[in-house]
Homo-oligomer: A and B are copies of this chain.
Amino acid sequence: MRHTAVLLISCPDQKGLVAAIADFLLRHNANILHADQHQDAELKLFLMRVEWELADFSLDLAEFAAAFGPIAARFGMTWRVAESSRKQRLAVFVSKFDHCLADLLYRYQSGELHCELPIILSNHEDTRWLAEAYRVPYQHLTVHKDAKHEAELTQLGILRDRKIDFIVLARYMQVLSPDFIRHFPSRIINIHHSFLPAFHGAKPYHRAFERGVKLIGATAHYVTETLDDGPIIEQDVARISHRDALDDLVKKGADLEKVVLSRAVKWHLDNRVLVYANKTVVFD
């Protein structure tokens, strides 16, 4: 794996942006590996992702903010820079369904997901065996109906202790409070088992079955305060027919959920996702 840095930028579109960024990187001897930009014509926004090798780069990343600050200020940029060799620290929340967890664990172990996984948090014991098979710490935390707030405080404490960067809800069956979510803006990924906005909320496979749709879907999105309404990162669908009973939808859907969620997590880890206007740009 190459030692690279990624710069993500969003700002009002204006002339000279690309030239200023390219010139800045050139002055510090950056060898650009990928650069991708997007203009939202309607909102007049400029969004960019640049990745370059750090080997020859003449600027220490610790000094990046100071050096890049004037340019960012001139163009009114929102930006962040990430070092690809630094592994983000992920916490997985899970309930009883274990297919997404098993998939994430395998991808984590194989190195496909370039991250640390210091903790799996669950409101059940059911999936502990998987965590143990992959030697990942697992903590069971009962969430009582009338003590959700206390449970969230405990969870937040654990996340702080473990220095967690972002959270994946791998079919976690509890709704998080706005308070909790505010601690991780655009840093909680949920997998919803429908093609959003169709069948948001509870029991999407049941409702898909009743409606007689010919395709089922899955959606990975960032969690916001409104249920199932956050910026969509990835979606996919699978064909079903009248021969598929509800149980078949659940099984076919499980395969969808796994690939959709894992793509979203991977893109997040690769710093490919920019959020704006409750949408995402996924740089490829």
* Contacting pair A234 B211 (CB below 8 A): no
Would you give the 0/1 interface string for A187-217, flagging 1 where the beta carbon is closer than 8 Å to chain B? Answer: 0000000011111000000000001111101
Chain A contact surface mostly = mixed
Q: How large is the interface on A (under 10, 10 to 19, 20 to 34, 35 or more residues)?
A: 35 or more
Min CB–CB distance A96 → chain B (angstroms): 12
Minimum CB distance partner of A194 in chain B: B198
Indicate which residue in B18, B35, B231 contacts A212 across the interface (CB closer than 8 Å).
B231
Min CB–CB distance A103 → chain B (angstroms): 8
Indicate which residue in B19, B102, B284 contacts A19 across the interface (CB closer than 8 Å).
B19
- Residues of chain B with a CB closer than 8 A to A29's CB: 15
* Contacting pair A232 B211 (CB below 8 A): yes
Indicate which residue in B38, B199, B280 contacts A197 across the interface (CB closer than 8 Å).
B199
Any B CB within 8 A of the CB of A39: yes
Bound-state Cα–Cα, A235 to B39, Å: 28
Which 4 residue pairs across A and B have the least CB separation, nearest first? A212-B279, A133-B133, A198-B198, A19-B22
Residues of A within 8 A of B (CB): 15-16, 18-19, 22-23, 25-26, 29-42, 98-99, 102-103, 106, 110, 112, 133-134, 195-199, 211-215, 217, 231-237, 239, 241-243, 245, 251, 255, 259, 277-282, 284
- CB-defined A-B contacts under 8 Å, sample of 12: A15-B26, A18-B26, A18-B35, A22-B22, A36-B37, A38-B243, A42-B245, A112-B251, A212-B277, A214-B233, A242-B280, A242-B281
